[in-house]
Amino acid sequence: MTKKRGPSDDAEHSSKHSKRRQTSESFSFRNPAVQVMVGKQTGNSTPRTFTVLQNLLTSDSKFFERMLQSDFSESKEGIVKLPECEPEIFDLYVMFLYHGDIFSAPAVKTKQVPNEDGFKEKCTLIDAIGLADFLQSDAFHNSCINAFLDCCNEYNSSFRGHQADLRIFKAGVPSLIKLVEDFYVYSSGVNWFTEEFNKGTLKSLSEHPEFYHDILVQSLRLLDSGGRMGQLPWEQNRCHYHRHVGVPV
């Protein structure tokens, strides 16, 4: 997933490029490397091994810091196994470690029509946010949230509905759940509940009543205060959905 830039993005691109270069130069390739075996053997796939600099992993992820700076066998052998993770998703994490960012949603003047490709890309980023939560990497989480919002903007659609909700619940990341709640409250039409009910896709309503209760309460508060005004919350400040050191999730 790559992000194209236009002429107006030159200054920003230059700044980001410098930042990425400085980030990569701050790590010595003479440092020890770790083999991370991702995925498990199934009928259609086999585990994939990633070789990653140890200090990149331990400086970014509390999970890897504990795993590789302790008496665990992983620290002694230099091998970490993540059987429940998908190689495609971990590949995004490695991209982030070496480049300081992940890239998604090519910038175009005409927004694309919401389609299956957009939904798949959002699902990939949702899984990446779940991985960031597992690895306890705040920086990767924030980068994935930004890419997810860029993708929503690119495909001119947010991420909601029965299948989307199930994906969110599976990830189980509080800031992501909050973002999707805001999608419902601030960008859904008044008929979203009726449409989903008529399609028979509200099974998740009975499974996660607190999620929809929060949406209802926030919607009523919004109406009581005069309705939607100005920019949407994720347009005003993405930090609402980011993680920062010392700030409770």
* Structural contact between residues 91 and 53, judged by C-beta atoms closer than 8 angstroms: no
Please report, for residues 22, 100, 158, 240, the alpha-carbon distance to residue 123 in angstroms, rounded to integers and kept in the order given.
31, 21, 12, 21
Q: For 71-93, how does the pLDDT look when each residue is reduced to its tens digit (9 = 90+)? A: 888 888 999 999 999 999 999 99
Cα distance between residue 235 and residue 153, in whole Å: 10
* Structural contact between residues 203 and 162, judged by C-beta atoms closer than 8 angstroms: yes
Cα distance between residue 228 and residue 156, in whole Å: 19
Q: What share of the chain is helix, strand, coil (3-state, %, to 5)?
A: 60, 5, 35
Radius of gyration for the chain, computed over Cα atoms and rounded to the nearest angstrom: 20
- Domain ranges for the chain, please list them: 160-249
* Structural contact between residues 50 and 35, judged by C-beta atoms closer than 8 angstroms: yes
Q: For 113-157, how does the pLDDT look when each residue is reduced to its tens digit (9 = 90+)? A: 566 778 888 889 999 999 999 999 999 999 999 999 988 888 777
Burial class (CB in 10 A: 0-12, 13-18, 19+), 243: buried
Could you give the percent of the chain with pLDDT greater than 70? 72
Cα distance between residue 220 and residue 240, in whole Å: 21
Q: Output the pTM of the full model.
A: 0.77
